[in-house]
Structure 1
Amino acid sequence: MNAARARWRAFGVALCIAPALACANTASFEEEPVVDAASLVQPALLSGPGFSVDPHVELRGYMARFTLDTPYGPLQADSVEILAEREAELPALEALDGVTRSDAFLRAAGHRIGTTASALAQVVLHPVDSVLGIPVGVARYFGRRLERIAAQAQAVSDRAARRLGNEGDPYPADEGPMTDGRDDGNDGAPRKGGHWYSSIAREAAREFKRQVKYGQARRDIAQRLGIDPYTRNPYVQERLSALAWVASAGSFGAGSAIGAIGGFGAGVLAQGGRINDVVWKLAPEDVRARNRGRLQRYCRDELLVRQFLRRGAFSPTLQTAFTDALDALQPAQGCDALLELGMTADSELEARFLVDALRLVDAHLGARAKHGTLARIGAGLAWEDADGELVLPLPVDRLSWTADVARFLDRPEFRVSRKTVLIAGDASLASRRGFTERGWSIVVGVRRPGGPPYARSGEPAPVDVE
């Protein structure tokens, strides 16, 4: 009986190793666990001056959800990458907190906004009490629902572009409050005898100029501190916004108030290649124009390019990282499919996933990667190099063997002889077995420029598929 059972087991394993066959039931599916933080990241990210990380970490959608204890309150980080970034921002947060608590700042704030100074102080001194919403990681990239959304992105883009016009103005040719301020001739003089709302248009123009000064001040302060001016860190956002708004009035020297402490954060982030300095130097619309020029080298659908650059999930910093990563790969085909997938991202975490997927391919293949083909398989991103090898980049913290992952791998597009999966973090034994049974080569702990320090790296130990 035991010999017969062994023969049947060997027969089943042999079937599952065949690349063209689906084997979703080879291993039991897993629930994503709660794990020790030390199993995901190196010790340097678990504690330091003024912060500590809860050792119990929930995995959600293949990404780790960390909780930091800081002097400013608890802070969530929804991946290892975001954890490293939030910790790198702490020196900048300390500097911002000190400045926005100072008497000089509060006096300037009172002069700037009069009776609302006390309210501003309350915002600065008592930031976000809670973060709304619970991220679901990047599991959608393996699921069926996002696949349907991705297939519809092109049509949605076309309709939106026709409705909003070339540059996003919903009424590009209509007369209205925002068109009254336009010049009527070549002498630069505004038209005479405007409508009753002309004064509103002029006030809007003045407000626009104030916003421009505010944006420049915010970027200047962020550059001095070495942080992303569009960071999603709620504590940094509030202090940075308050300081930039007061500084934009010209009555408060934010740069001198911050002082030399700003250099520390710059060293942490810049050395990792996390931030392209164009996001500090250029206004968002200029960053968008710069990135549009790069996307147009590889993408053929002009309407899709414009709509992608206005997606809320991609901040100017993430848009720039995305286009830089694409520029490094120089794909021969598939850029439009990538943008369609990018249009479906609805969170910072999902946007980062696509950026890091491109970076993983470039880091692993190097010069071999150039001029390959981007492929959208379902809702996932893959790369086919010039030699015909299919590469699946998965910038996840820890991959578990779920029904969605198994179903995704059993797609017919993956039934090729040469295929490699790149996993940024770690993978469970069951998920490694699932890949091996389907004929994949597995590389775990792939290092990429600016990537966070995962706990382990290098090739996984051999997997016994029996």
Structure 2
Amino acid sequence: MITSPPQHLRRILRGARSPCLTLLLALATAHAADEGGVATEEEPLIDAASLVQPALLSGPGYSVDSRVELRGYMARFLIDTPLGPLQADSVEILAEREAELPAIEALDRVTRSDAFLRAAGNRIGATAKSLAQIVLHPVDSVLGIPAGVARYFGQRLERIGNQAQALSDRAAKTLGNNGNPYPADAGPMTDAREEEKSEAKPRKHWYSTITREAEREFKRQVKYNQVKRELAERLGIDPYTGNPYAQERLSALAWVGSAGDFGAGSALGTIGGVGANALAQGGRINDLVWKLAPDDLRARNRERLQVHCRDELLVRQFLRRGAFSPTLQTAFADALDALQPADGCDALLELGMTASSDLEARFMVNALRLTVAHLGARAHEGSLRRIGAGLAYVAKDGEFVLPLPVDRLSWTDEVRNFLDRGELRVHNRTVLIGGDASLAARRGLTERGWNILVHAQRAGAPAYARGGEPAAVDID
């Protein structure tokens, strides 16, 4: 079968000025489509307005760059804010970051006040000194450039199954089930795409676990977590948010407020409402995340997961996995409760333990939510299936569901090869696409006999563009 030109050749030809070269590309692409089905494509730069409603592109004091890079089927937005640029690696994260902006402004006012600065003088210094005595090694950096969820479509599956269980057993003997024994290796949505070395995340080491345990114990002693959750609830934001501007100010205020010599809550109260309750609406965040301490929340989620999963050790280790924040672990358990699968939960947990970023953890949660929203009560007693590094669901009535909570699906080589897997050659199959899909992707799916649902609904979904068939505009 003749396929389309390699991506590097297409890039060269696309940038060329020679009419002959341009004609060569057009002929090669047309031939590939005629002889081998739908021609594959690259992920383009697109107009942000083709993905989201206009209300998400600007607001009081902020604006979003009109050009958006698609990376691994997720959009990477750049938000211009008064505090500096802020990146959002999906439409969902864009909506959350914008909902957090009023809260950041309120936090910024308090942390720059004279009362806070006076109270913070000795408090922060004492905290740093105490932590220096406890923490023997620095926590590894988790910064990096997310590669979207492209590897979800990979052919390979690494460090899952028996190897994951072996690591779990070894961790139980070595660390007594404390901390996170799983390295940040390839996992769901992270199998196919190569990343540049400069963009790869550094590996986490065993001593990072001890560091986190020491910090958690110290923070418990000073009531840091409690104060932080109370402040986050007052502001209507996730206490475990990955927003660096919000996290920095929220943490500083919690440290000082936990000493009891600064009324952090009262200080916020004088500012008035900040209108950041969007995260509590539409199922985006369970209010127990604010009410329960991390250990109590983990214990509750453990009980809930054990209803669906058979391997208790696997459940305990999943709940220590760094990529899933307490908020996402709770959302994961919520989705499983709604789905009520008859089997496949252990395989799902093993997939979850290989997630190496917030974006990948969100993908798994949202895949479950898409399935629940589509099947409703028909979802009960179905089977979770692991397909490569991804997941699918077989309903009790036989419908095969492939949930893809991506911002825009392009018909790349990875997607085509993934959909040609033998496990996906079944009858009565439906693909749920959270956002949009290119015309080529729709044609490729139709050619393979899939029922296609774009802009599929799910709990907590962001405001994607709607109305007719929104088409991504290639502005590259």
Q: Please say which of residues 273-282 and 305-314 is displaced more in the overlay.
A: 273-282
User: 1:447/1:96 Cα in 2 relative to 1: closer, same or farther (>3 Å)?
Assistant: same
1:380 aligns with 2:390: yes
Letter in 1 for 2:154: G
Unaligned runs of 5+ in 2: 1-32, 129-141, 182-213, 472-476
Contact 1:32/1:60 (8 A) holds in 2: yes
- Which position in structure 2 is the counterpart of 1:214? 224
User: 1:228/1:105 Cα in 2 relative to 1: closer, same or farther (>3 Å)?
Assistant: same
Letter in 1 for 2:244: P
Which TM-score applies when normalising by structure 1?
0.80
Q: How far 1:39 moved relative to its partner?
A: 0.4
1:447 aligns with 2:457: yes
Equivalent of residue 150 in structure 2, options 128, 139, 145: 139
- Which position in structure 1 is the counterpart of 2:424? 414
Q: How far 1:163 moved relative to its partner?
A: 2.6
**Equivalent position SS for 1:239:** helix
Contact 1:227/1:265 (8 A) holds in 2: no
Q: How far 1:241 moved relative to its partner?
A: 0.7
1:94 aligns with 2:95: no
1:243, 1:142 → 2: CA distance? 42
- Which position in structure 1 is the counterpart of 2:90? 79
1:357 aligns with 2:371: no
Letter in 1 for 2:254: A
2:410, 2:394 → 1: CA distance? 25
Equivalent of residue 156 in structure 1, options 129, 143, 167: 167
Equivalent of residue 258 in structure 2, options 248, 264, 270: 248
1:305 aligns with 2:329: no
User: 1:288/1:338 Cα in 2 relative to 1: closer, same or farther (>3 Å)?
Assistant: same
Equivalent of residue 389 in structure 1, options 381, 395, 399: 399
- Which position in structure 2 is the counterpart of 1:68? 79
2:310, 2:427 → 1: CA distance? 31
Contact 1:298/1:333 (8 A) holds in 2: yes
2:468, 2:294 → 1: CA distance? 38
Contact 2:178/2:320 (8 A) holds in 1: no
- Which position in structure 1 is the counterpart of 2:333? 323
Q: How far 1:329 moved relative to its partner?
A: 0.5
Contact 1:34/1:59 (8 A) holds in 2: yes
Q: Percent identity?
A: 77
Please list, as runs of the form range in 1=range in 2, the aligned pairs for 1:226-375 lying within 5 A after superposition.
226-259=236-269, 263-375=273-385
**Equivalent position SS for 2:332:** helix
- 1:281-307 CA-to-partner distances (Å, cap 9, x unmatched) read 111111110100000001011111111
Tell me how large the CA RMSD over aligned residues is. 2.6
Q: How far 1:408 moved relative to its partner?
A: 1.0
Q: How far 1:263 moved relative to its partner?
A: 4.2
Letter in 1 for 2:308: Y
1:56 aligns with 2:42: no
- Which position in structure 2 is the counterpart of 1:6? none
- Which position in structure 1 is the counterpart of 2:189? none
Contact 2:408/2:438 (8 A) holds in 1: yes
Contact 2:286/2:331 (8 A) holds in 1: yes
2:291, 2:328 → 1: CA distance? 15
1:427, 1:403 → 2: CA distance? 15
Letter in 2 for 1:138: V
Contact 1:426/1:456 (8 A) holds in 2: no
1:100, 1:88 → 2: CA distance? 20
**Structure 1 stretches of 4+ moved >6 Å:** 204-207, 457-461
Contact 2:92/2:462 (8 A) holds in 1: yes
2:238, 2:347 → 1: CA distance? 28
- Which position in structure 1 is the counterpart of 2:134? none
Unaligned runs of 5+ in 1: 1-15, 17-22, 118-130, 171-203, 462-466
1:34 aligns with 2:21: no
User: 1:263/1:301 Cα in 2 relative to 1: closer, same or farther (>3 Å)?
Assistant: farther
Q: How far 1:419 moved relative to its partner?
A: 0.2
Letter in 2 for 1:91: P
Contact 2:180/2:317 (8 A) holds in 1: no
Letter in 2 for 1:322: F
Q: Please say which of residues 77-86 and 156-165 is displaced more in the overlay.
A: 156-165
**Equivalent position SS for 2:118:** helix
Letter in 2 for 1:150: I
Matched positions, count: 394
1:169, 1:236 → 2: CA distance? 25
Contact 2:219/2:225 (8 A) holds in 1: no
1:206, 1:294 → 2: CA distance? 23
1:99, 1:105 → 2: CA distance? 7
Q: How far 1:169 moved relative to its partner?
A: 10
Q: How far 1:272 moved relative to its partner?
A: 2.2
1:385, 1:24 → 2: CA distance? 36
- 1:74-112 CA-to-partner distances (Å, cap 9, x unmatched) read 000000000000000011001000000101100111142
Letter in 2 for 1:327: D
